[in-house]
Structure 1
Amino acid sequence: MIVILTALAVEQEAVLAHLVDVREHRHTKGTFFDVGALTRHPGREIALGVTGQGTLAAATLTERAIAEFSPAAVLFVGVAGGLREWLEIGDVVVGTKVYAYHGGKSTDSAFLARPQAWPISHELEQVARRVHRARRWHEPLAPPGEALAPEVYFEAIAAGDVVLDSKLSPVADALHHNYNDAVAVEMESAGFAAAGHLAGQVATATVRGISDRADGSKSVTDG
């Protein structure tokens, strides 16, 4: 069993498109999951859940999913804003580590960052690099002969409870100065990674497609 979590319904629907024999699974506390098999790997069972936006909801439902299914791995997938000019819309970032960028100490003269970070599970990173190297993972995205070929990057991701849509805001400035190796920003993976870490021997990874450039053009490029 592998658990896949998303934040948004549109992301959930994108994953559902790759599942067959889907059935509803209801947690005793009311959380719904879709459980099915991968279309291209019918022996691989997937439990899919949607957390909603934000680190707190992601942490809570990650913990709930791990306790409910005892999965071999948990993935958080979806979209993110790009923080680098060289990232194209549709490129994929596999988070080698996830920063919780809101931690710090506020003084009269400055805000002093106190980062927390969680690395990707080593085994999942190794698998992801081999999948990328085979250059076939994107074939289901388009009809045969017309498959898109997004680039894949293995880089740091920053996560916090703010929708970033500016290159000039205080949040953007803090990311640039204090989390300079992060190439993408989103709102859930810090909670997800923390819950995975506390759960112990569960492999976790964040995989995000770039949907906008976090530069004020989000309403256009997100579409």
Structure 2
Amino acid sequence: MILILSAMPEELSAISTSVQRPATHRSGSREVVQGLISGQPVSLAFSRWGKVAAASTAAHLITALRPTHVVFTGIAGALRDDLSIGDVVFARELFQHDLDASPFFPPTHIPLLDRSGLPADQSMTEGLRAALLRAHGERAPRTWIADIATGDQVIGRPVQRAQVLSAVPQAACVEMEGAAVAQVCHEFDVPFACVRMISDRADESLAPAEVFALARRSGDCATAMLREWLACEFD
């Protein structure tokens, strides 16, 4: 079974409508939709915003449902000038830009795990990227495999953007959940991938209405990608 998480209902709604034989139930305080996509068993859940909520959701559902893989989909703000609105970034490694236990550890270093970045599963990442390109054909968005920064802030001011890049200079984009879920999956030894559509530039141009519209577009894009990936990778 594949666990699919998103941080916003707008991101998850399109995927939810594609589930065959859906059944909705509550697990703890989370609502879970279970069924089939492309004939493969899936569970979908709204993680809620931020690292703690997302990590709590992931840990609970991994324990309760025992998924074989976890996919996190959604939106992110661009940190690089070569990224455009609507591009899709597949995580290579994920870093918590606001984690700083200095002077005991370097900034972004995760105590006791002896690392800063948490890698996404390479096979999943490459398979999902290929599936997105096949599913959308000539209309496919530009795709990137790059590092992603995660923190408990909406980044919408130049000073915030600069702080994120100071902590994780190589990050292509920034969001609020990915690295937290990546750490949970790492500790539970569950393969993980994170897919983010660029919704804004993580600066003063941030417009909530446009972000919510891109969240819905991200869900549509992810639906086609997941259908193709599940049909080809697990047949």
Aligned partners of 2:91 and 2:145 also within 8 Å:
yes
1:174 corresponds to which of 163, 178, 181: 163
Structure-to-structure mapping, 1:130-149, within 5 angstroms: 130-131=130-131, 135-138=133-136, 148-149=139-140
Of Structure 1 and Structure 2, which has the larger fraction of its residues in helix?
2
Aligned partners of 2:93 and 2:148 also within 8 Å:
yes
Measured on the aligned residues, the alpha-carbon RMSD in Å equals 1.9
Change (3 A) 1:77 1:191: same
Aligned partners of 1:35 and 1:46 also within 8 Å:
yes
Number of the residue aligned with 2:107: 113
Change (3 A) 1:164 1:44: same
Distance in 1 (alpha carbons) for counterparts of 2:188 and 2:199: 30
Aligned partners of 2:129 and 2:143 also within 8 Å:
no
Distance in 2 (alpha carbons) for counterparts of 1:73 and 1:26: 20
Of Structure 1 and Structure 2, which has the larger fraction of its residues in strand?
1
What SS is found at the alignment partner of 1:61? helix
| CA deviation string 1:44-89 (max 9, x = no partner) | 1110000110000100110111112211100111111111122111
Amino acid at match of 1:196: C
Aligned partners of 1:123 and 1:203 also within 8 Å:
no
TM-score (norm 1): 0.84
Number of the residue aligned with 2:97: 101
Distance in 2 (alpha carbons) for counterparts of 1:162 and 1:71: 29
Matched residue count? 203
For the pair 1:33 / 2:27, whether they are aligned, the reply is no
For the pair 1:194 / 2:192, whether they are aligned, the reply is no
TM-fit CA distance, 1:129: 4.4
TM-fit CA distance, 1:198: 1.1
What SS is found at the alignment partner of 2:62? helix
Structure 2 residue ranges without an equivalent (≥5): 110-115, 214-235
Aligned-residue sequence identity (percent) comes to 31
Distance in 1 (alpha carbons) for counterparts of 2:57 and 2:23: 19
Structure 1 residue ranges without an equivalent (≥5): 140-146
Aligned partners of 2:148 and 2:172 also within 8 Å:
yes
TM-score (norm 2): 0.80
| CA deviation string 1:139-187 (max 9, x = no partner) | 6xxxxxxx73211100000000000012x21x32222233111111000
| CA deviation string 1:109-136 (max 9, x = no partner) | xxx624322001132123234435xx32
Q: Which runs of 4+ in 1 moved over 3 A?
A: none
Distance in 1 (alpha carbons) for counterparts of 2:97 and 2:195: 18
Bigger Rg over Cα: 1
